[in-house]
Every structure is written in structure tokens, then in C-alpha cells.
Structure 1
Amino acid sequence: MDWAFEALYNKAKLYARRAHDEPMNSALMGFWMSLSLEILARAALAHVHPALLADPREPDNTHYAFGIIPKGVPKSIQAKAVFARCSVFIKDFTDKMSAHCLIMADRRNSELHSGAAAFENIDNSSWLPATYEVVEVLLRHVSRNFKDFLTADHAKFVENILKDRRDNLKREVQEKVAKAKKFYLNAPDDWKTEKAEAFAAKLDLYVKSSKLRRKWQCPSCDMTAAMAGEAIGRSPARIDPDEVTITREVRVLPNSFQCPYCRLSLNGFQEMKEAGLGAVYTVEEEEDPIEFFGIVPEEHVDVDKIVENYYRDEYDNE
């Protein structure tokens, strides 16, 4: 099967090695890596099950994923859907990574389908480290590593780049936390007292505006701040017949932290992780029973009768 994990993985590996045979700042380096990135993402989904690659608009596509040869050519999902599904099924694959993959895919499409030289004159520092981060997550998901995916020499090169990137990020986050702590410690006590009530009210509004947000202690000033994240999975629905409610547990990957007191601002999962705030948390989500069960109210209620009774009551009350 063309959607089998091993076939896709080996093709992604071939393109990645072609990329690394090119000069580091060449257009072909970027082009081959853009191809490798999408195919590796497809391999990662196939590692869960090839059905995740099937275009759901035609049943034959799903049948093919289960080994049934269709009459026509089986169609897989587009790149945008591939990366969106990776965000759901692959641990640590964030929305930010999905956005990076889409940028790479857009450049590739522009290269192939237009007169633009989409990979020319682009410094690899603007895309290569982020690409390696995505590849690392995908390889971990399929129990492989850079040594297998590239070569031993290239693997060492990649690991050094990622280490430098993490060291720099760690230093930047430490500097952010220290700067915010200094600001709060030096702020006048009367300012802290004056702003406390207003900040608390704004914090309540911010957290209540989304189920994926919560209050959390700030690592700089120890005050209550706001954390937000992206949904990475949902539990099976729990139905409570007594309360007539349907709820799910939503797993949230933190990607934002804002403290109004010391002005600490963290953006992205990696920054959150370096600040010790990267643990996945859960929130409760309530579903509408009508939508969950696919109930069509008109099939159970005589709308015309309700309208007729309404106007009759209005007339009788005059």
C-alpha cells in the first residue's frame, strides 16, 4: 500500500538525505526538506493508522486504507489536513509547528506551480531549526532518530543546532522571568494595592472567556496570572442522566502565560516548558445534547402548532 508507514518513512528519509547533500543555504536544500517534512508527517499518521490519510469524502479512500483496492485512484487528505491531524494525534506537535509546516508547504507549492523562486535567497536560519524541531517530534512518535533518518554525521550536526536553540531559549526565558521579577519588586506598594482589584477583575474575564484558560501562579512574582493553551485531545463523552449533561475532559497543551502584575509574557509551548509551566492540564467541556445526538427538533415538535398556540395566547391576553 502506498500509504503504509514504512513506504512513506523511507521516502521522507530519501528526500531528507537529498536535502543534506546540497549546500546548506541552497534553494534545493529547502525544497527537498519541504517535501520530506510533509511525507514524514504522513508517515507519522500512518504509524497510528493509514485511515488517517484517507480523504473522507469518498468511502473508497477509507477502504483502501484497510487494504481494499478501489476502482479508481485512492485520494489522501491535503497537506493542511495532514498537519492539523498531527496536532491531534501526535504528542508535542503544536499548532505553532503546524503553522511552520504550512509555510514550508506553501513555499513548495509556489515553487512548483508558479514562476516564483520560492526557496531562493532565504537564510536557512529562518526555517531550518524550526524544521528540525518538527522532525524531532515526528521521529520520536515513530520511534526513530536523526541518526537513522539522516546519517551519523548529519545527526550530530542537527543535535548541536537543537541544543543551541534550546540553550538560547532557556536563557531568554530566564531573562524574561528575572526582568519581570525585578519590575514587581521595585514597584511601589501603593501601585500594587491600587492595581490589584482591577487586575483581578480583568483576569476573571479573560479566563472565563475560554474553556482552555485557567489561573496559575506566576513564577516571577507569585501572584495569580493567566495560562492558556491548545486542545490536544478529548476523552470519551460522559453522560449524566440525572443532570441531563454531556461532558468531556479536554487535554490542553499550554502555550501562553500572561501576568498583569509583573508583566511576564510567555508565548509558545517551548517557552512555557523552559519556565516550568509546560505540563499538560485538563478542563471540562460541556456539549449540547441536541448536537451530540444529532436530534432534529422539528421531527419531535409541531412547530406550526406552537406558533398557533402562541398567537392564540397573545390574542386572548389583549
Structure 2
Amino acid sequence: MRSAIAIARRLIPEINDEEASALAALVEFRNTEFHDDSTKFDPTILTARIPDCQVLVLKLLAFSNDPATAILSKDDSAQFEAVKAAKSGDRKKRVRSLIDSCKDRFFHLTAEQQEAKRKAVTPNFVSAVTTGGAHIRVEKCPACATAGLLGGRPISSSDPMLKDNDIVVEVRVIPEIFECKACDLTIKGLDELLAAGFPHEFTSFDSQDIIEHFGLDPMDYIDPEEVAREYHESAYEYNDE
């Protein structure tokens, strides 16, 4: 595999060290799955390398003069392109400086002040969908380790499915912003979020209205005369008492 990667890099000089390393990690992970029953390979390492693999795929497609949609769905193609654009600029130094600044300010507080801030802003949910359609989920702040909020826009959704007696759709989300109210850290844009170590995408579940999903009309299941009769009977029993 190393020989194949070396050949690819000679043919496509744009492939950088991170992308080549990410591909090698992916191959190692698959080999571990196929040939080793142990769990020594940390899957979080693979997750962190996926953005580099996505950029590599686009570079290979460009070399072969094929559009991304030749092997990717329209949604995946858009997501890969978004990651490529985000990875094109090195924001690690700026983001690291921002995180360190917020971290330093937070940990200069007393232990009691830190705990009070964490308690005041800890959300009482794991994920949510805003009225505007943005998807939010709780993520640990890279500066102060408090529970902050990672938000983004949906790029695709699954067919409706049954989950815990609810009808939901699984939504793929591209992160756009992270906010921590405890240390006032705000990171905007996929490029800076990737530089901070956040995932390139996350999934969320959006509940569906069962009446709308099945096209039901509640009046088809209600007998107005029976409702009126029950109402008058209950009113009569009350007056009789």
C-alpha cells in the first residue's frame, strides 16, 4: 500500500503528507477489522482523518478528470467540497491562540467561580433543532471542557424511520459554529472548527409529526355527536351532584 501511495504522490504532487497519512490510517483500520479481533485501533483517530481522506478523493477525481458526482451522491459531493475549501487554509495557529486565550482567562478564575459558570450554562439537552432549522448538539469546549453548543446546517436526511416510538429522520449536518458561554469561546466556520478538532459532520434526529407523515385527518376519527353527548352527560352528572 505504501508503494501505491508513493506512486499516487508522484503522479499528483498536490497530495500532501496529511492526506497520504490519512489514507494509510484508513487502510490500517480496514486491515485491523478484517484480520484482527482486537480493538487496539482507536476509531476516534480515524474520524479525525476522514476530512483529509475526503480531500484526497477529490484530488484523485480531479486527476482523472471526473466530477465528484461520478462516485459520490450530490449531497456527499457538496460536503466533500465544503471540507476541501475549509482545509485549503491553515487556521490552526489562529484557532490555537483563540483557544489558549479563553482557556487562560477561564482558569484564572477561582475553582468556585469556574464551577458556578459551568453550572449556569450547562444545557439540559443533548441535541436540538431551532425554529430556523439549524441543528445543535452538545460538545465539550476545547478551552475549558465545559459543555458548549456546536451548530450547523443540514445537508441531507434519511427516509423516515421509527425510533423509540417516534417517527424521525436522521439528518447529516455540516458544523458552522461552536459557542461556549462559560469561557466565551466562539469558533465560526468549518475551516476553524476543523482546526480546533471538531468533527467535519455530525448526525441529528429530527422528529416528524405523525399526523402529517401519514396524511391523517383527525376529524376522520372523531364523532362530533358522540363528543357532544359525552360532554352533556358529564355536565349533567356534575349538576346532579
Task: Provide the residue aligned with 1:229 in structure 2.
Answer: 152
Gaps of 5+ in 2: 1-68
State yes or no: 1:315 paired with 2:231. Answer: no
Determine which of 219, 223, 233 is the counterpart of 1:298: 219
State yes or no: 1:279 paired with 2:227. Answer: no
Specify whether residues 290 and 89 from structure 1 end up closer, same or farther in structure 2 by C-alpha distance, changes over 3 A only.
farther
State whether residues 269 and 278 of structure 1, in contact with CA within 8 Å, keep that contact through their aligned partners in structure 2: no
State yes or no: 1:92 paired with 2:15. Answer: no
Could you state the TM-score of these two structures normalised by the residue count of structure 1? 0.44
Specify whether residues 185 and 234 from structure 1 end up closer, same or farther in structure 2 by C-alpha distance, changes over 3 A only.
same
- Can you list the C-alpha shifts for 1:105-141, whole angstroms capped at 9, x where unaligned? xxxxxxxxxxxxxxxxxxxxxxxxxxxxxxx65xx8x
- Can you list the C-alpha shifts for 1:181-238, whole angstroms capped at 9, x where unaligned? 22123222231133232222xx226955758222211112233222122222111112
Distance 1:224 1:272 in 2: 16
Determine which of 124, 130, 141 is the counterpart of 1:204: 124
Specify whether residues 303 and 195 from structure 1 end up closer, same or farther in structure 2 by C-alpha distance, changes over 3 A only.
same
Distance 1:311 1:287 in 2: 36
Identity %, equivalent residues: 24
State whether residues 251 and 281 of structure 1, in contact with CA within 8 Å, keep that contact through their aligned partners in structure 2: yes
State whether residues 248 and 284 of structure 1, in contact with CA within 8 Å, keep that contact through their aligned partners in structure 2: yes
- Can you list the C-alpha shifts for 1:143-190, whole angstroms capped at 9, x where unaligned? xxxxxxxxxxxxxxxx9xx95xx23x4443232112112212322223
Distance 2:237 2:147 in 1: 57
What is the CA-CA distance between 1:294 and the residue it aligns to? 0.5
- Can you list the C-alpha shifts for 1:288-313, whole angstroms capped at 9, x where unaligned? 22110101112232234323422332
Task: Provide the residue aligned with 1:172 in structure 2.
Answer: 94
Task: Provide the residue aligned with 1:127 in structure 2.
Answer: none
State whether residues 129 and 206 of structure 2, in contact with CA within 8 Å, keep that contact through their aligned partners in structure 1: no
Task: Provide the residue aligned with 2:109 in structure 1.
Answer: 187
Task: Provide the residue aligned with 1:57 in structure 2.
Answer: none
Specify whether residues 317 and 89 from structure 1 end up closer, same or farther in structure 2 by C-alpha distance, changes over 3 A only.
farther
CA RMSD of aligned residues (A): 3.3
Gaps of 5+ in 1: 1-46, 49-85, 94-135, 141-158
Count of residues in Structure 1 that have an aligned counterpart in Structure 2: 164
**Matched residue SS, 1:92:** helix
The one-letter amino acid paired with 1:189 is A
Task: Provide the residue aligned with 2:35 in structure 1.
Answer: none
What is the CA-CA distance between 1:258 and the residue it aligns to? 1.1
Distance 2:77 2:230 in 1: 54
Distance 2:165 2:119 in 1: 37
State whether residues 159 and 169 of structure 2, in contact with CA within 8 Å, keep that contact through their aligned partners in structure 1: yes
Distance 1:253 1:310 in 2: 52
The one-letter amino acid paired with 1:238 is M
Q: Which has the higher helix share?
A: 1
Specify whether residues 245 and 191 from structure 1 end up closer, same or farther in structure 2 by C-alpha distance, changes over 3 A only.
closer
State whether residues 128 and 135 of structure 2, in contact with CA within 8 Å, keep that contact through their aligned partners in structure 1: no
**Matched residue SS, 1:183:** helix
The one-letter amino acid paired with 1:204 is N
Distance 2:187 2:165 in 1: 39
The one-letter amino acid paired with 2:104 is K
Specify whether residues 244 and 179 from structure 1 end up closer, same or farther in structure 2 by C-alpha distance, changes over 3 A only.
closer
